[in-house]
Structures are given as C-alpha cells and as structure tokens.
Structure 1
C-alpha cells in the first residue's frame, strides 16, 4: 500500500512550486470559510493557483461552506478535481454535494474529539468517497497544529477499510511524526498544512520533501509487515 500525501493550505505560487517539487500527490486550496484560517483564499486567487497546477496532481477545494449549491459553485469556479467538505454540515448536504459535483470525488471531514467520531465517520462514509480525520478547536476546524487520539482514528480506518472507504489522516502531522501516525492508523493518505510551514506560514521545501519521503518510506515498511 502506498500512502498518498496531500499538502494543504497552498496560498501562493511559491507554495505551489514547493509542494510539486516535494512530490505531493494532492494540493489543497482553502476557500469559503466560516472559521479562521491563515491560508484562506478568495475564489479569484484560488482559481489562479489552480490553473497553474500541472496534470496528474489532484487539486482539492477545502471549504467550510454549508450550502450544497454554494460549495459546488465554488468548486466549479476554482476548477478542482475533488471537494473536501470541511464545514459543520449535515449528511444530507454532503449527499447533495456529491450528487451535483459533476463526478468530483467528495471528502468529508470528521473531527476526532472523542470516541463518538467512530459513529460519525461510519455515517459519513456512505455519502462520500473518502473520510478525512482531523483535529479541531473551538475556533478552528483545521490547521490546528494538534494531533488527536490516533487509536480512535485507527479504529475508524479499520472499519472503513472493510467498507471500501479510504481514510485520510490529518491534524498536527509533520515530518517527524507522520511515520508513527501511518504505522498507528494505516490510512490511505496523510494531509499536512502547518507542519511544513515556517513561522510566517509559508511552505518550506525541506519540510515538505521530508514529509512526503517519510510517508513513502512508511508505505514500504507497512508492505513488509
């Protein structure tokens, strides 16, 4: 199993260039927010960066919007390949997004704040193409820089694997802990944002490359276990 790597919070041409040079499989543009994010872009800026991305890399819209039509409209404007529904939305909304998204893959974020996340992920799995497990705080739906209880995420990944639904692990990951996270949870993919940034929020090539390399090495190790 090859664990894929997404670098989220792309907000400049330099960020984009660095993520591509690091070998990321996917990149995330954060737009349409209801909670604070330093990396939020307006639709025009996100669209400009999306157009610069080369073929064969997955462009993901990460949005907090809670209306299905608004989510799909923003995805159309930005020109992405997948939609990460990261807001506090109902399953009905996720279902409506999936029906109208023009075949784009839909990723539903589930915040792992306790064991109740297991049931939430199971419910979400029926109406999306992948479940992303993230940390959250009172004022942030992502980009917290905090890990959560990986033992809960491991249970979710195991249950959803049996259902044929991939799990993406996020929340406080960085080049130093991603190998341990992969070993503990065995996700389909890992997602990083603040863990590969400098103090002013710009992506760093060494950190991004180290993150992707660690994910690949961990994939090889899982394959021999």
Structure 2
C-alpha cells in the first residue's frame, strides 16, 4: 500500500502558526534562520531556538539555513537543536557528509530542479533531497514551480527520499503529488496571508489535498481487489453449481 505523502509547512515565525500547522496534521515545520537573502519568513537564531523548543513532540522541526561553511552548519544545529537541518548552498558530497556525521539532526540537501546531476552526487550522504526552484542566490522559496515530470525522473533515480518544493499551493499540490509521487511536499508562500504569516485555512486545505491523493489511490486499489475477489468467488460458485457431484 502506498505510504502517505509527508507535508512540511515552511517559514514558521510564530508560536501560533506553529501550533496551527501541528493541529492541521503537518508532519514538519520549517523554521528559517541565518540566511543570506531577504525574506519575511526568517527569524533570529534565538527565536528559532524558542520555536523548536515549544514544538509538539509529534511535529518534526526543520531548521532551514544557508551557512557560510561546514563549521557554521554544525554550530547552528547544535545551538538550535532541531530534528532536521535543511541546507541551502553549493555544498559538495564530502562537505555534506561531514555535516551529517557531526550532528544528531537528519540532513536535507536542497538541490536546484535544473541540476539533477547534483542530486545524484549528494544523495548517498544525506537523509533526503529537497528539489526546489532555486534563485541565483541559491535560495528556494521563490514561489515558482518547475518541470514536475523532470523531478519525477530524478526521484526514480535516487534511493534517498525526495521532497518536492517550489510554487506549491492548495490548488496544485494534488497534481504535483500525482505527477512526482514524492516522499514529501514543502510549502511556504503558497499558504500565507502575508509574508511570514500563515493562512490556517490554506494550511489545512494543502495538507488535506496532499495526503488525500494517497488515500484516494489506496481506496481505488482496494476496490479493485475487492471486485476481483468478488468475481473470483462468483466464478467458483458458478463452477461448483454446474459441476456434477462425483459418486462416492
């Protein structure tokens, strides 16, 4: 049976939004800090630490960051203590491996959707690959989609879990999941009232539509199996009714 698509709501800046995404059934919350680009979704390291500390134990916390070097990545992970660290930037496999071996958090590497070769080169040293529409600064969160068909091809080549990001909204996430069949999906601006503030109704709708794809698919499969079993049973009954009983 197909597993449920995981959902990460990124760019959490307040405890209220953190509680709301948890209540809506999100699997993970992304908290952005120490990035080199201007974004209303970024918080201070101190604020990130507070949000991580207050998160529900049933919600994975993902520290989203653009560290200047390997040492900075290790340092900020130790300070904030997230469950996962999501690293933006052109780190090679050896650097990502060093980070992964030095922290207790799982490591997600962000890969530009237009650079499938990088996904292949780093997949074995991280815990997951996040494929996003990346801007010239190496940051995601652009609000733009990319070619999901290409992303689906990348996903089939990798053993690591693939998380789909880039321009996702409640309106298109079902189609995205059907096309790519990712391990998880990631959204930020697609579920916001304003920059950095989440629309709780949109969050709930996004999660429902992302995960309903799997439920609908599983139900169709189960109905197909039930129909097949019913047909087989009817055939057996028909054979039994038309076959003369042997003399004993």
TM-score by length of 2: 0.84
Distance 2:193 2:138 in 1: 19
In structure 2, C-alpha distance between the alignment counterparts of 1:178 and 1:87, rounded to whole Å: 26
Deviations 1:46-86 (A, max 9, x none): 01111110112111111111312211211111120111112
Alignment of 1:90-129 (within 5 A): 90-102=92-104, 104-113=105-114, 117-129=115-127
> In 2 relative to 1, CA 140–35 (structure 1 residues): closer, same or farther, beyond 3 Å?
farther
* CA distance in structure 2 between the partners assigned to 1:52 and 1:217 by the alignment: 29
> Which residue number corresponds to residue 7 of structure 2?
5
RMSD between superposed Cα atoms in Å: 1.4
SS of residue in 2 equivalent to 1:36 = coil
Q: Tell me what 2:26 maps to.
A: 24
CA contact (8 A) 1:183 1:222 kept: no
Query: Where does residue 180 of structure 1 map in the other structure?
Result: 175
Instruction: Give yes or no for contact 1:66–1:89 (8 Å, CA) kept in 2.
Output: no
* Aligned counterparts of 1:119 and 1:199: Cα–Cα separation in 2: 35
**1:200 Cα deviation from its structure 2 partner:** 4.1
Helix, strand or coil at the partner of 1:126:
helix
Residue of structure 2 in register with 1:192 after alignment: 187
Question: Does the aligned pair in 1 maintain the 2:92–2:122 contact within 8 Å?
Answer: no
Distance 2:101 2:195 in 1: 39
SS of the equivalent of 1:56 reads: coil
**Which protein has the larger Cα radius of gyration, Structure 1 or Structure 2?**
2
User: How far has the Cα of 1:36 moved from its partner?
Assistant: 2.6
Distance (whole Å) between structure 1 residues aligned to residue 92 and residue 66 of structure 2: 12
Question: Would you say 1:64 and 2:62 are equivalent positions?
Answer: no
**Bigger RCO of structures 1 and 2 (CA < 8 A, at least 6 apart):** 1
Distance in 1 separating the partners of 2:194 and 2:184 = 26
* Gaps in structure 1 of 5+ consecutive residues: none
Aligned residues: 218
1:136 matches 2:137: no
Matches within 5 A, 1:135-174: 135-139=133-137, 141-160=139-158, 163=159, 165-174=160-169
Residues 23-42 of structure 1 mapped to structure 2, 5 A cutoff: 23-42=25-44
d(CA) in 1 for partners of 2:153 and 2:138?
24
